Structures are given as C-alpha cells and as structure tokens.
Chains A and B, each alone.
Chain A
Amino acid sequence: MSDDIRGMTAELAADPDSLIFLDLGEALRRRGQLDAAFKVARTGLSRYPELAKAHDLFARILCDRGEPDRAFESWVTALQLDAGLVSAHKGLGFLYYQAGDLASAEKHLAYSTQVDPDDTGTAAALERVRADAAASRAPQAAATAPEAVTAAQSDPGTDAAAPGDASLPTIAATGGLAFSFDEGARSPVQEAVFSGLDGGADGLLLVDANGLRLGGGLRNPDGVDVADSVAALLAGVSKEAARTARLLTLGDWRGLSVECGDGNLYLSAPSESTLLLTVRGLDVPMGRVARFAERASVAARSWLERAE
C-alpha cells in the first residue's frame, strides 16, 4: 500500500464523513484495487447520495469492473445532480460510442471539449467520432450501412461501431479514466429501462411472469449480481398477492412492502404480467421507497410500451 493511500485510509477512518473518499477511491481504482475502490465509493455514496462527483467516481470504478450498464446509470445520475460535470460527459460519450450511438457520443464529447479546450485527448476522440459519423453517412457506405446499423443494434457490444479503435482510450486517459469493457457487454443505452432514476441498474428489478429479468439489476450487499436468481423467486408473487387480496375481498393489490433487518423492499406491478422490485437501504423510509417505486413503475410501463 502506498503512503498516499495509507494516509487517506487513515484520514477516512478518523473522519468517516470526510470527502477524502473521492481521492482514495480514485487512487485505489488507478492501482487496480477495484474491490477496495468499489467499497470506498459505495460507502461514500451512502453518505453523500447527492454528490455528483461521488456518482462519477462510482461510474469510473464500475467501468473498470466491466459493468457499463451500471456505470451508465451512475453517470446519468451524476449529470442530474450537476449538469456541467465534464468527467461524466466524457464517460457517457465513451459509453455511447461503444454502444454505436454516435450522435449522443458527439454531443457529450463536444460539450467536454467546449468546457475544456486544452484536453487534446478528448478533442481527438471527438474528431474520431465525427469522422465515423461522416463515414456512416457517406454515399459509398450506403449499401453496407443498413447492415452495419442492424448489426450494431442487435449486438451493440461487438466492435461493429469501433473496430480496433486506438484513439478512444485517450478519452479515458485525459479524463483520468481507464475503461476496460467486456466486449460482450450489452448496450447500456438499450438496457436502460430505468434511465434517469437513481439506482436504475442496481436496486430496481423488472421481472416477467416467468421469473425472467426484463431490466434493471440487483446486487447483494457484497456486490454479487443476484438479479436473475431473485427474479426467479419472485415469479409467483404477483399472482399470490392478487389471489390473497381477492379472497379477502380487498380488491386489486397495489403494492407489497417488505421491511427487512437491513433494508426496505417494495413490490409493485407495472403491468399485469410484470413485477417490479425496488430495494433500498434502511436509511430510506418505506414511504419514500414506495413513492420511488411508483416513478419506476411509470418508467417501466413506458419502456414496456416502447418494447411492444
């Protein structure tokens, strides 16, 4: 452990409310100590859920962990809290590029270079994005473009949009980022059922009637992905809740709140054939969890309608 990290760790231990967690998390991330960085950032976020830089740090760590969907959600949240946060714009620009959405990538990178014109790496990346966008519009590409677009949309995790790209990592370098994507990762854009909602990729889980995950995500307190197994266990809950309410002549069921020893869960049904699980810590009162779940239900319904 370097002296810097040791010093920051000691400082944070002495004062758990200290914002030094931002520097410590970043230092750990740069050293590749991702589990430690993740824990530091998550703890910091729990203390400062309204701090855009904390979400930005969390997103960078998630990127390094190969979790672009969650990183996407965190950067969106960061920008909701601070619309001018350049590092979040850079991160989103990179993710959009990876997903093949060149227009959105250009928008975020252009903003970044406008605010920070000396950042040559981002400027070069923006140039590359614009060149790719122009190439995709070029007449000679007309014959093959539809196939390429179709391929990118159906499997955006492949390098259809950026084969062997060498310039994009410079976005990361200039922003202090070090992306390491799983090439098989799904598009963060298409996966964002709960885009714009805090915790959309973790703590919100949309499940179909067969217990299959439709969107969102869920991790246990140790960071292990438990979304699919929890989804399977929730398969029959909606029917059981409906049956219980009906047999007791209570009418249609509206929600099911579950207080655990270490968290609050809320189940609702955005549609007849889906179930939405919202999970929050004990620091969020059940009434607020229910309200948040209502907003998430609206987002899920809208997504389901678009998907149909």
Chain B
Amino acid sequence: MSNPVELLERLSTVRGLRGSVLVSAADGLIVAESLMTGVDGRAVAALAASLMNRLRRATECAGRKEPVFLQLQAQSGSVLATPCGAELVLVAVAGPDANVGLARLEMLEAAGRLV
C-alpha cells in the first residue's frame, strides 16, 4: 500500500480539484486528507461514505456488481468517489472547471495503489 498522503497530494495537482479525502467506509471518518482551505473535510467524508454505502446496497439489490466510481454533479462542482477495497473510500471535491475525466483516471489509479 502506497503512502496515502502522497497519493492525495498528487491528486490535488489535477486541475480544478479542491482536494481529496480517504475515508473509512464503515463510519465515514477521515483516514487521510489533502483539502484546500474552506472545504469541510468531515462533511465530505461522512456524506460521501454514506452515499457510497447506500448506492452499494442499491446496486447489489439490482443484481449489479459493486460501484467502482460515482460522481455527484451539482451546479458549481462535483463530488467524486471510488472505493478502495471494502473498507476505504477515496473522495475528491471538484470545482466547475475541473477535468473530471482526468480526475477519475487518477482516482482509480490511486485507489488501486491504496488497496
């Protein structure tokens, strides 16, 4: 497993990303973070983990495989999340100008290293 903080800092170099958090999937608590000032890390962690868990149950019920990536699109940005194994979730907050495609690729790669 790579150093989580280094991976999060590398993610922060993607244009438009306001930061990222590694979250415990079970309780939504922060494991590691690299966020810009003004972004509420605890809120990001708790809400994204909760959303991911809820969607996991829904996709399982629908007979689908587990979610590998989710994007909550909002008026002025997005929340991106990808599971890192069964216990962790990697979450990033993106501004409206973010390169979400690149962020997605970087997050999937980082998640693979974090398992």
Q: Which A positions have Cβ atoms within 8 angstroms of B?
A: 218, 220-222, 224, 226, 229-230, 233-234, 236-237, 240-241, 243-245, 247-263, 265, 279
Number of A-B contacts (CB under 8 A): 113
Q: Which residue of A lies closest to B47 (CB)?
A: A244
Whole-angstrom CA separation of A255 from B62 in the bound complex: 19
Contact A258 B77 (CB under 8 A): no
What 4 A-B pairs have minimum CB-CB distances, sorted nearest first? A220-B63, A251-B75, A261-B65, A250-B74
A248 adjacent to B75 (CB under 8 Å)? no
Q: Give the interface size class of chain B.
A: 20 to 34
Residue of B47, B50, B72, B76 with most partner-chain A CB within 10 A: B72
Q: Give the Cβ gap from B37 to chain A, nearest Cβ, in Å.
A: 13
Instruction: For the complex formed, measure the closest distance between the CB of A284 and the CB atoms of chain B, giving whole angstroms.
Output: 14
A268 and B29 CA atoms in complex are apart in Å by 27
**Secondary structure type dominating chain B contacts:** mixed
CB <8 Å contact, B73 and A255 = yes
Indicate whether A245 sits within 8 Å of B68 (C-beta atoms), given known contacts A229-B61, A236-B54.
Answer: no
**Are A244 and B79 within 8 A (Cβ)?**
yes
State which of A243, A249, A250 has its C-beta within 8 Å of the C-beta of B78: A250
In the complex, the answer to whether A260 meets B68 with C-beta atoms within 8 Å is yes
Q: Which residue of A lies closest to B104 (CB)?
A: A259
CB of B22 within 8 Å of the partner chain: no
Chain B residue contacts of A224, Cβ below 8 A: 63
Contacts of B79 in A (CB 8 A): 244-245, 248, 250
Q: Are A257 and B54 in contact (CB under 8 A)?
A: no
User: B44: CB under 8 A from chain A?
Assistant: yes
CA distance A222 to B62 in the complex (A): 10
